């Protein structure tokens, strides 16, 4: 679906080589996670893939017509002064759909995910986990080619995180979504992703590409599965090697 070919990013002020020849292929209907230490260029890569910034060298090669990436930012980006339904409908408002049509589509989506009882609440009336779900549905409503998530659950406590991770896995499977997820949480990456790409410390390079083979992602005991633990160890070792390399 998307070939990332030798993408580098050099910032001028201050002079920083953020990304160093990143190459990776993203396939449709897969969730790919990128893990790496803070400052290794994860957000920069997502911004380039989302079209919000340009690579200094290298290219993105899309294998689909009219690719569209929807980015869910590190803070959920919900507008406090808009109700949940109007937040979710935002991408359709931007695409100039009639407001009634846009709102109905948002309500339908909220109902499908059993969040319609919150439709007329404001974001600050919701728990953190609910806000994340709403922000994700807003990202999904645009029906993007690729959903890009930048440390989406960073602000949530670990119980809430585990719940929303299971929720996200089933949403991704149900809808055959294509997701690129950036996180520094290795367990989150393994729980959600079909593949985990490991980045080195800055300048960010991809130093490993692990397929994750776990059949039942929503199993509450997933984290004690030997395959989970094996992936966890391998990725941690790769991350440590990537931190030492500089
Ligand atoms: P991560 O998301 O992995 O924590 P970032 O992609 O945010 O890392 O940043 C990678 C590096 O690039 C950091 O050293 C950061 O300070 C630098 N950087 C990010 N954005 C800019 C910018 N607009 N101008 C200059 N340097 C930047
Ligand atoms: Mg970041």
What pLDDT digit, counting tens, does each position of 11-70 carry?
999 999 999 999 999 999 999 999 999 999 999 999 999 999 999 999 999 999 999 999
CB atoms within 10 A of CB 126: 18
Can you give the pLDDT at residue 131?
93
Kindly state the percentage of the chain with pLDDT values over 70: 99
Please give the backbone phi and psi of residue 102, each rounded to the nearest 5 degrees, phi first. -60, -45
Residue nearest to atom 22 of ligand 1 (CA): 11
Cβ atoms of residues 49 and 148 within 8 Å = yes
Which ligand has the minimum distance to the alpha carbon of residue 41?
1
pLDDT band at 90 (very low <50, low <70, confident <90, very high): very high
Q: Is the dihedral of CA 37, 40, 44, 46 positive or negative?
A: negative
Q: Ligand 1: which of 9, 14, 20, 39 to mutate, most ligand atoms within 8 Å of CB?
A: 39
Evaluate if residue 206 carries a pLDDT over 80: yes
Measured from the Cα of 46, ligand 1's closest atom is 6
Across the chain, what does the average pLDDT equal? 93
List, chain by chain if needed, residues with CB within 6 Å of any ligand 1 atom: 11, 16, 18, 36, 38-44, 202
Could you tell me which residue, 216 or 233, shows the higher pLDDT?
Answer: 233
Cβ atoms of residues 53 and 41 within 8 Å = no
Partner residues linked to 9 by β-bridges: 19
pTM above 0.75, yes or no: yes
Can you give the pLDDT at residue 245?
55
Measured from the Cα of 13, ligand 1's closest atom is 25
Nearest to 2 by CA among 51, 74, 52: 51
For residues 68-88, average pLDDT: 93
Task: Tell me how long the chain is.
Answer: 246
Q: What angle do CA 24, 148, 240 make, to 5 degrees?
A: 55
135-193 tens-digit pLDDT = 999 999 989 999 999 998 887 888 888 889 999 999 999 999 999 999 989 999 999 99
Per the listing, tokens 């290298």 go with 58
Buried b (16+ CB within 10 A) or exposed e, 127-143: eebbbbbbbbbbbbbbe
Burial class (CB in 10 A: 0-12, 13-18, 19+), 6: middle
């Amino acid at each position: 679906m998307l070939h990332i070919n030798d993408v580098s990013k050099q910032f001028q002020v201050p002079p920083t080589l953020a990304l160093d020849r990143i190459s990776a292929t993203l396939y449709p209907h897969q969730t790919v996670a990128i893990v790496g230490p803070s400052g290794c260029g994860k957000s920069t890569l997502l911004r380039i893939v989302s079209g919000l910034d340009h690579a200094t060298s290298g290219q993105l090669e899309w294998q689909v017509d009219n690719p569209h990436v929807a980015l869910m930012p590190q803070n959920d980006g919900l507008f406090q002064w808009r109700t949940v339904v109007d937040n979710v409908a935002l991408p359709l408002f931007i695409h100039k759909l009639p407001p009634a049509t846009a709102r109905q589509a948002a309500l339908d989506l909220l109902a499908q995910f059993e969040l319609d009882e919150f439709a007329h609440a404001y974001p600050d009336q919701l728990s953190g986990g609910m806000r994340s779900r709403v922000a994700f549905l807003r990202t999904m409503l645009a029906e993007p080619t690729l959903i890009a998530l930048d440390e989406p659950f960073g602000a949530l406590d670990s119980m809430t995180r585990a719940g929303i991770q299971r929720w996200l896995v089933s949403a991704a499977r149900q809808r055959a979504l294509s997701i690129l997820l950036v996180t520094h949480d290795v367990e989150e990456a393994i729980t959600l992703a079909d593949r985990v790409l490991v980045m080195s410390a800055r300048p960010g390079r991809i130093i490993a590409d692990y397929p994750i083979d776990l059949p039942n992602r929503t199993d509450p005991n997933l984290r004690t599965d030997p395959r989970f633990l094996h992936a966890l160890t391998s990725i941690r070792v790769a991350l440590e090697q990537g931190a030492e390399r500089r």
